[in-house]
Amino acid sequence: MPPRTSLPSPGRRPLVVTADGDLLDDLLRLAAAGGAEVELAPDPAAARTRWLPAPLVLLGADQAQPCLRARLPHRPRLVLVGRSGELDPGWQVAELIGAEHVATLPAAEPWLVDRLAEHGAEGPPGAGARIVAVLGGRGGAGASVLAGGLAVTAARSRLRTLLVDADPLGGGLDLVLGWEQLEGLRWPALTGADGRVDAPALVRALPSRGDLVVLSWDRGDLFPLPAPAMAATVDAARRGRDFVVVDLPRQLDDAAVTALQSADQAYVIVPAELRATAAAARVVATAAPHCADLSVIVRGPAPGRLKAAEVARALGLPLAGALRPEPGLVRGLERGEAPAAAGRGPLAALCQRIVGDLTGASRAGAA
């Protein structure tokens, strides 16, 4: 068994959201006093893609109502900041936007310096998880199989891995892994989570084997997944895991958008077919505004001889890889064999390269 991989910190920085120049000057001064570099956003539109990934968000009182109207998801470590007289009644607004604290300047300046110092350029402890999102360009494109393969490959590399099923119509990722008989919580038991979730407790409660833990759906009634539950889960995963893979639905609901905004990298998988490429263009148009790093993976066969590079050009995305047909993979899934579990074949090779690139490892280890 290879040694457990140690990931470098992703270097995420606190986010300051305000269009108030005087307040911004104060917060930049406090950040400098705490030795922290911060990212800046003047309004919710500019903050949206960084809202969830940031280890700490300082929200100016001037942007509280705009954030409510923008329906930004609740997140942990959100602080509402303003001057005395600007935050009355501050706690009512804080509760509506999900802020954990209200900081009134200048009285709260020492406290804010301490919080910013905890979240300096290296990020807080436990912020090292890489989060990867996978979408299908059309139905049956193979997104769930790719997500399962990435998770299995990461776990084989001794990375503490969480595989999250965010697609309520996908049939369940536990079936993709052959884990449907394993005991553990599924999504219905976690939909009430809307704050800080204890990462070790979450891991202990979910179905697991070795370094791989799965959060999937049960076979009960269909229901919408609340965005706060996804936000709390992603936050716990970033703190308590090394590698997180989220399988997203093609039609993005609020929970899926929350996960996509938290992703370091997203992949859309597209069969090498003209109609599939046309369908994928709609998926890309919906997903791209929520993720800074979106790439395409093209899956064969190509009945019309459409090349992977041509699909990537049509979608306006970088080409992350191409998958040759793998008939044995489908037979293995029907027998309950997890994708890429043997570490051989086109899917396993692609997953090894992706995991290695994202974690800085030269290659995924073999069990």
Mean pLDDT by 10 residues, the chain (367 residues): 39 87 94 89 89 88 91 86 75 84 92 84 55 95 96 95 93 91 88 70 90 91 84 85 95 91 94 97 94 93 94 97 90 89 94 93 41
Per-residue confidence (pLDDT) for residue 353, from 0 to 100 = 96
Per-residue confidence (pLDDT) for residue 3, from 0 to 100 = 41
Q: How far apart are CA 260 and CA 248, in angstroms?
A: 8
Tokens standing for 347? 């899917």
Tokens standing for 291? 């993720």
Q: Which residues contact 51 (CB under 8 A, 6 or more apart)?
A: 15, 44, 57, 72, 73, 75, 261
Q: Map residue 215 onto helix, strand or coil.
A: strand
In the chain, % of residues over pLDDT 90: 57
Per-residue confidence (pLDDT) for residue 363, from 0 to 100 = 39
Per-residue confidence (pLDDT) for residue 10, from 0 to 100 = 43
Per-residue confidence (pLDDT) for residue 340, from 0 to 100 = 92
φ and ψ of 260, to 5 deg: -65, -40
Of all residues in the chain, what percent are helix, strand and coil, respectively (each to 5)?
Answer: 40, 15, 45
Cα torsion angle, 271, 243, 355, 360, sign? positive
